[in-house]
């Protein structure tokens, strides 16, 4: 096995070990706090895909499809964060932009009259454009004034949320309903389910997976993705090399905004009938978790999103069926983060691999040099 591959394998194993250890921590806590720890664990670990019946355990297709459906928006937000973090832009505005994307998609879904097919495309594209434009704000503030994009984008989330709520309350509300919500979307704007069984697993997931491929190609096979990554690794190097750093910083955030906007609109038109988000939907935050688990590599985003969706579902079931509260998910996530982020975790073993590789390389080089020497 080549040494590079061995390091890659090591990294994968390390990720798995981090997750395993985090679950061990969770297990310990469950045993400490719960009167029925085994039931709690059963639902946490197996519940999302298995139903427990008196006759035995059965694979629960519906529940599994629900998990897949829950992945859709977090794949988009995860991709958005991947692109922005790759340029070392710690933009946390995905949350607000997803809500805005949902709102823009919803409005066009309600008030535009178009044929189905075209209608969805127009809604999604509009959400992408608006998302990209909004992300120009933290990006330009950063490039022109040096304002930290982390602070401005974080604050922007709430500004966006309250502006949306204002218009929802005073302009677009359906007064015939008891709760504040918009009028229903036109049927032509709805994103259809893949299987119509109420799981709301829509073609949005397929679009999300297509975007995974597009973004992976963009980041590793185009000049823009290359520039984004170089700016992220070493901005001084990028500038000295002649890369227009300011433009790339803006580009990464605009793309992040577009992806968030698309994700928001697909989520809204796929899983809802009217716009009724009264607060930030939370997908943007999950996107950060997903991107960190995927180490900013778009290819790993679906895997990370699946894992988070599974964990979320497991914690839900555990809190319904046992005395362990749903908040356990925060502890598990925090523990995973801790082990993931800890560079030193298993670093000794990694160092041994590196040293061994280096020694072997040196030996090979020396052999090659002495061979050359003999030839000449």
Partner 1 sequence: MEQENLVVQMKGISKVYPNGIAANRDVNFTLRRGEIHAIMGENGAGKSTLMKILFGLEQPTSGEILVNGEPVVINSPNKAISLGIGMVHQHFMLVPSLTVAENIVLGMAPTKSRVFVDYKKAVEIAEENATRFNLRIDPNAKVVDIPVGMKQKVEILKALVRGAKILILDEPTAVLTTQETSELFKELISLKEQGFTIVFISHKLKEIKQITDRLTIMRNGKSMGVYETASISEEEISRLMVGRDVVLEVIKDKAQPSETVLKVRDLEYTDRWNKKMLDKVSFSVRKGEILGIAGVEGNGQRELVEMLFNLNVPDAGTVYANGKSLIGMPQNIIRDQGVSLVPEDRMTYGIADIASIEENVISDRFGEKRFNRGPLFNMREIHQESETLIVDYRILAKSRKQQVKMLSGGNIQKVVVARELSSQPTLLIADQPTRGIDVGATEFIRNQIVELSRNGSGVLLVSADLNEVIELSDSLIVMYGGKIVAYFEDTDQLDDITMGEYMLGLKHQTEEEIAKVCYE
Please state the closest distance from residue 358 (CB atom) to partner 1, in A: 8
User: From CA 87, how far away is CA 137, in angstroms rounded?
Assistant: 17
Q: What does the per-residue mask of binding to partner 1 show for 158-197, with x meaning CB under 8 A?
A: ----------------------------------------
- Measured from the CB atom, the residue of 147 and 355 that comes closer to partner 1 is 355
Torsion (CA) 125, 134, 101, 316 in degrees, nearest 10: 140
Which tokens belong to 30? 């469950």
- Measured from the CB atom, the residue of 45 and 243 that comes closer to partner 1 is 243
- Residue spans of alpha helices (H) in the chain: 3-33, 37-45, 61-86, 94-111, 118-145, 149-170, 204-221, 223-233, 235-241, 245-271, 283-293, 301-321, 328-341, 347-375
Q: Among the candidate windows 135-143, 161-169, 203-211, 225-233, which touches partner 1 by CB under 8 A?
A: 225-233
- Measured from the CB atom, the residue of 330 and 361 that comes closer to partner 1 is 361
Q: Among the candidate windows 136-144, 172-180, 230-238, 297-305, which touches partner 1 by CB under 8 A?
A: 230-238
Among 365, 367, 370, 371, binds partner 1 (CB under 8 A): 365
Residues 6+ apart with CB under 8 A from 344: none
If one counts every other C-beta atom within 10 angstroms of the C-beta of residue 314, the result is 24
- Measured from the CB atom, the residue of 31 and 240 that comes closer to partner 1 is 240
Whether residue 353 contacts residue 7, with contact meaning beta carbons closer than 8 Å, is answered with yes
Q: Among the candidate windows 57-65, 166-174, 231-239, 309-317, which touches partner 1 by CB under 8 A?
A: 231-239
Whether residue 274 contacts residue 284, with contact meaning beta carbons closer than 8 Å, is answered with no
Whether residue 298 contacts residue 79, with contact meaning beta carbons closer than 8 Å, is answered with yes
Q: Under the criterion CB under 8 A, does residue 55 sit at the interface with partner 1?
A: no
Among 27, 188, 239, 316, binds partner 1 (CB under 8 A): 239
Among 146, 178, 242, 373, binds partner 1 (CB under 8 A): 242
Residues lying near partner 1 in the complex (CB under 8 A) are found at 3-4, 217, 221-223, 226-227, 229-230, 233-234, 236-244, 354, 358, 361, 365
């Amino acid at each position: 096995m080549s040494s590079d591959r061995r390091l890659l394998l090591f990294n994968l194993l390390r990720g798995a070990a981090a997750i395993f250890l985090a679950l061990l921590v969770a297990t310990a806590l469950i045993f400490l706090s719960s009167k029925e720890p085994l039931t709690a664990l059963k639902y946490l670990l197996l519940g999302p895909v298995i139903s427990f019946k008196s006759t035995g355990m059965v694979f629960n297709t519906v529940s599994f499809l629900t998990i897949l459906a829950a992945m859709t928006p977090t794949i988009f937000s995860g991709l958005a964060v991947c692109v922005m973090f790759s340029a070392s832009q710690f933009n946390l505005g995905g949350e607000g932009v997803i809500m805005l994307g949902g709102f823009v998609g919803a409005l066009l879904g309600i008030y535009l009259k178009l044929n189905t097919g075209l209608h969805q495309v127009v809604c999604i594209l509009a959400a992408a454009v608006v998302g990209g434009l909004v992300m120009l704000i933290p990006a330009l503030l950063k490039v022109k004034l040096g304002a930290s994009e982390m602070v401005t984008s974080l604050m922007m989330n709430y500004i966006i949320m309250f502006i949306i709520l204002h218009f929802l309350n005073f302009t677009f509300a359906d007064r015939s309903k008891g709760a504040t919500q918009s009028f229903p979307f036109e049927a032509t704007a709805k994103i259809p389910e893949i299987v119509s069984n109420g799981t709301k697993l829509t073609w949005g997931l397929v679009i999300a997976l297509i975007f995974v491929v597009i973004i992976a190609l963009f980041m590793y096979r185009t000049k823009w993705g290359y520039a984004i990554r170089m700016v992220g690794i070493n901005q001084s190097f990028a500038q000295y090399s002649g890369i227009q750093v300011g433009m790339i910083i803006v580009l990464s955030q605009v793309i992040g905004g577009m992806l968030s906007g698309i994700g928001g609109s697909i989520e809204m038109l796929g899983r809802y009938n009217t716009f009724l988000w009264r607060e930030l939907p939370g997908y943007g935050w999950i996107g950060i978790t997903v991107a960190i688990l995927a180490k900013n590599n778009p290819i790993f985003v679906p895997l990370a999103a699946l894992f988070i969706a599974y964990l979320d579902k497991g914690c839900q079931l555990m809190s319904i069926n046992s005395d362990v509260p749903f908040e356990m998910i925060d502890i598990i996530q925090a523990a995973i983060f801790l082990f993931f982020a800890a560079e030193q975790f298993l670093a000794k073993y990694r160092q041994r691999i590196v040293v061994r590789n280096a020694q072997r390389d040196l030996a090979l080089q020396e052999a090659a040099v002495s061979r050359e020497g003999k030839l000449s």
